Amino acid sequence: MATLRALLWDVDGTLAETERDGHRPAFNRAFAEAGLPLHWDPQTYGRWLAISGGRERIAAQLRELEGDAPQPQRVEALQAAKQHHYRSLMQQGSLQLRPGVADLLREAHQAGLCQVIVTTSSRAAICALMDHLLGPLQEVFRFWVCGDDVGSKKPHPEAYEQALQGLCSGGLVADPAELLVIEDSDNGLRAARAAGLACLVTCSHYGSLESLADRAMAAAVVSQLGPPARVLHGPACQGEQITLSYLQALVR
Ligand SMILES: [Mg+2]
């Protein structure tokens, strides 16, 4: 029997609908600015999400459009422009935290749990989100593991392995069974499980129940964290809300 001591949070799709309403329009602004005949509507972007990482997505799209692999500096310039637009969208207040996220972050913090960001997005994108969406609430996070810190993006387990190492070497947890990951996508679920960690999936716009290759890999799958949360797989929840006691029961 384990006691829950740490929550590992994915960012995109989990904390906010950043993919559909943040990253996607930011890529489109960067493409338009560069004079490229490209526009990712929500459905098209859903297909490109199969490729993890912004640079990787841009390179694959340019290769498809032009037939040749693009020069790395061109990809880098587009990625920098996209980051700029992403930050502008955050500043304009185009995004909000998903239902229940703020309450659960506060509840876990007050209960003394260690909370960590584990994402393979860039540190720049995470900074923009932290500053404009979380504000003072960002102090609940002990540390972040970002795309800049790892060689392989999710579904590779490297980011989770690094977070686990940080927590164990810091004496914050003694056993991986004391950790719970919160993810929204199949890639994230697979990364967490490959690192040997239990995972709750909170389905996002792109991370639907149908997109999960194997829902049985998840400790639970829910529609969202806040009311009216529906449990799609796993133990029933009380009051249509995912609370800390619900998460504790998942690792027990
Ligand atoms: Mg995600």
pLDDT tens string, the chain, 252 residues long: the values are 789 999 999 999 999 999 999 999 999 999 999 999 999 999 999 999 888 788 999 999 999 999 999 999 999 999 999 999 999 999 998 899 999 999 999 999 999 999 999 998 889 889 989 999 999 999 999 999 999 999 999 899 999 999 999 999 988 998 999 999 999 999 999 999 999 999 999 999 988 887 888 899 999 999 999 999 999 999 999 999 999 999 999 998
Give the strands of the sheet with 198-202, arranged side by side.
141-145, 114-118, 6-9, 179-183, 198-202, 220-222, 231-233
| CA 145 to ligand 1 centroid distance, Å | 14
Q: How far is the CA of 176 from the centre of ligand 1 (A)?
A: 21
Cα 88 to ligand 1 centroid, rounded to whole Å: 21
pLDDT of residue 158: 98
Q: Do 201 and 212 form a contact (C-beta atoms < 8 A)?
A: yes
- Write down the pLDDT at residue 170: 86
Q: Residue 10 catalytic?
A: yes
Report CA(14)–ligand 1 centroid distance (Å): 6
Residue at token pair 């502008």? 88
- Domain segments of the chain: what residues? 6-17+96-251, 19-91
> CA 180 → CA 8, 110, 197, distances in Å?
6, 17, 7
In this predicted structure, what is the pLDDT of residue 63? 97
**Residue of 10, 103, 175, 184 marked active site:** 10
- Cα 167 from Cα 21, distance rounded (Å): 32
pLDDT at 195: 97
Residue 87 C-alpha to ligand 1 middle, in angstroms? Answer: 18
Angle, helices 72-91/54-66, rounded to nearest 10 degrees: 120
34 Cα to the center of ligand 1, angstroms: 27
Q: What pLDDT was estimated at residue 234?
A: 96
Q: One of 12, 41, 103, 186 is an active-site residue; which one?
A: 12
CATH of domain 6-17+96-251: 3.40.50.1000
Q: In this structure, which topology does domain 19-91 adopt according to CATH?
A: DNA polymerase; domain 1 (1.10.150)
Contact 145, 121 (CB under 8 A): no
Same fold, 6-17+96-251 and 19-91: no
**Is the distance from CB of 219 to CB of 46 less than 8 angstroms?**
no
